[in-house]
Structure 1
């Protein structure tokens, strides 16, 4: 009895006499929480095995003559890829041909077509691996806003998928099994990475058609024969120009010189070797593009005249000289730079004529700089920009070219020394 209260409490703890029984209500509550945690932490209750999925690699959208939408899916074929008798994906390092199958379905809307497509397959469609979207010209001419809305809204689809417009029907490109790659989806993904055309994703396409210009560009593709293809199914895909969209509708295409010009204006030109004549003797030179940059500077003068200054800079390496002049001759270098400048000027002027005067669609994105620099003036003309203001816009070109390297040899090859023009 002589010990203090704290000593008694310590003794009680040691002997276990100070334990208080848990309230029955609290005990039941803790038991219920444990059951909830146990059920929600189980990792297999909503599992989706890969054996139950149809993995989509590419999507194609067409419009049939009956005005219904045809949705095509390129689906990964695991039986072939598994190294069976049809596949060759083992340790040999050889290319596997035929690792995909194609299925398509039509519907009154893109969502209805997807529902019909799922009804044809025993596996659940999985769109999260789809890196390519192809839109046929017939479907694009009617408007692509509903397709963009669906694919950006649908939770599985990748918003960074490369988007193309096809001269041929999209379903025909989806069917292809090119010998050089495992699928046509992989071919188009690699082409997008190489920036052979306008590298546009689904998200960027939506932003451009809803932007100030209300216009967009897509790389235009078509089917081309492979020299060694066994049949049409093993043909290849080729970039054939640029498709121009006014708002959400395909209005026309650009090819050859106009194609290069619009890529130069929009800072999309990266992979290109320019070839052009250098003198009256018929000799040509070729310059490999190393760097290209275009800056847009808008102007509205005191008289209310709208104009755009384009400052184009290009650097390159000399890779071919079929003339009889020394590569290191300063006069020759100046001739090359002048000829290259005129070649680029011709490309850009061809693009301006086609896009500004004929298509009357601001695919260059000129509206954005005017919107940023002259917001009040822009607000007064935005409703008639593409139809009236943009076609009459004065464009001033300022082009600078530079040769970084002239090659390992300073003299033309394959020409007798006596025929080489001296400095």
Structure 2
């Protein structure tokens, strides 16, 4: 009985404590709910103000371009020429677009003589300076508009400048943010400026003409960035397309001269060391895997007369280096596919055996082109073929031993060319189109 009386107050105390705890929990939950409501309300306000902040920022940022320039305030350079003025200075010439005559009144192709004025589709201005940057600043003094390099497609380098060295000039071409590093670079015998001052047929100016020459891949195509990589490569060798002016058949005098490719200039340690002809240049392009357009004509070995011309539509070349018993050798492996453009022989190349013989004739001719180019460049001791990179990738340890004397090693590398041409299509006739059947050699 006494125990029951004593436990009753304890039970009442526990109930009160439980009630108090329940009230406290309810109050805590209410506080949490209020906090959550406040957070939701704050998030809603932030979500509502976010688009307004974005619009305000856009209104500030899109109000205008701080560095914008109007076209009618610019002297747009289409091409540039670099010549040696004297022992210490260079001459920078630019071909500037003339919008007043190109769009209407003037005749496309007219221009100003030398660095003077004139009413034509373009004008040429020149200035002399100790560096490219110095010459450009002086050139700006001769133009009422700000020089703009963003549309410059062509840079032509004179022979004297290339012989003296290109490293300092390449620094300016790469450092300027306006100059396109994909602009094409050419070399010319003698002065480069005359290429800019003459109007040419079809395209109207030399910048467009030489740009098209580069695009059709009849010769090597070298951009500013390509030239930089070659000069900074392990072999320190580079190749540049060589252009010169040719007299057209339609017009006499300077107005009828047009630029065309006549080979390539070879550079070593950033200096011009010599030239190669078109045949050697094309052979080098085969080795460098740069052939995109090629038409090859051969006289089949087992025919009495006639030629076969094939247009190559695809080609791929790879370099396979090897080092055996201390001897350095490299195999140039090339595969190509082509179509017969013309057949003036009496042979029916629908016969697989005769077609195989014809393919071997083409293999032999292309191999001779490659071998001739390699031998010529080895005599010049200028590795512009990528041999050094091939050995570096395949034999890095051996390469490190000779990299400082690659000039001594390169001329002694044994090079072999292996070509496989596949003739895919013969045209509408596998033999001569107008040759009687009794004259066709079918086997």
Which category describes the TM-score, using the shorter chain as reference length?
0.7 to 0.9
Work out which structure has the larger RCO, using CA pairs closer than 8 Å and 6 or more positions apart in sequence.
1
- Tell me the distance in 1 between the aligned counterparts of 2:217 and 2:412: 31
What SS does the corresponding residue of 2:404 show, helix, strand or coil? helix
| Structure 1 partner of 2:193 | 171
Closer, same or farther in 2 for the Cα pair 1:46/1:298, shift >3 Å?
closer
What SS does the corresponding residue of 1:398 show, helix, strand or coil? strand
Determine which of 200, 206, 214 is the counterpart of 2:228.
206
**Contact preservation (8 Å) 1:60, 1:135:** yes
Written as runs of structure 1 = structure 2, the 5 A alignment for 1:94-243 is 98-229=120-251, 231-243=253-265
Deviation at 1:329, TM superposition (A): 2.2
Deviation at 1:282, TM superposition (A): 3.0
- Tell me the distance in 2 between the aligned counterparts of 1:178 and 1:360: 37
Structure with the higher helix share, 1 or 2 = 2
| Structure 2 partner of 1:92 | none
Task: Kindly indicate whether residue 321 of structure 2 is the aligned counterpart of residue 298 of structure 1.
Answer: yes
Closer, same or farther in 2 for the Cα pair 1:183/1:305, shift >3 Å?
same
| Structure 1 partner of 2:428 | 408
| Structure 2 partner of 1:63 | 84
Q: Which runs of 5+ in 1 are unaligned?
A: 1-35, 89-96
Deviations 1:342-401 (A, max 9, x none): 111111111011101x2101110111121122222111111110x211111111222211
**Contact preservation (8 Å) 1:98, 1:183:** no
Deviation at 1:418, TM superposition (A): 3.0
| Structure 2 partner of 1:329 | 351
| Structure 2 partner of 1:7 | none
Written as runs of structure 1 = structure 2, the 5 A alignment for 1:74-85 is 74-85=95-106
Q: Which is worse superposed, 323-332 or 150-159?
A: 323-332
What SS does the corresponding residue of 1:348 show, helix, strand or coil? helix
Deviations 1:399-420 (A, max 9, x none): 2111011111122034343322
Determine which of 379, 392, 407 is the counterpart of 2:412.
392
TM-score for the superposition, normalised by structure 1: 0.84
Closer, same or farther in 2 for the Cα pair 1:193/1:400, shift >3 Å?
same
**Contact preservation (8 Å) 2:220, 2:281:** no
| Structure 1 partner of 2:386 | 365
Determine which of 375, 393, 396 is the counterpart of 1:375.
396
Deviation at 1:49, TM superposition (A): 2.3
What SS does the corresponding residue of 1:281 show, helix, strand or coil? coil
- Tell me the distance in 2 between the aligned counterparts of 1:77 and 1:85: 10
**Contact preservation (8 Å) 1:215, 1:365:** no
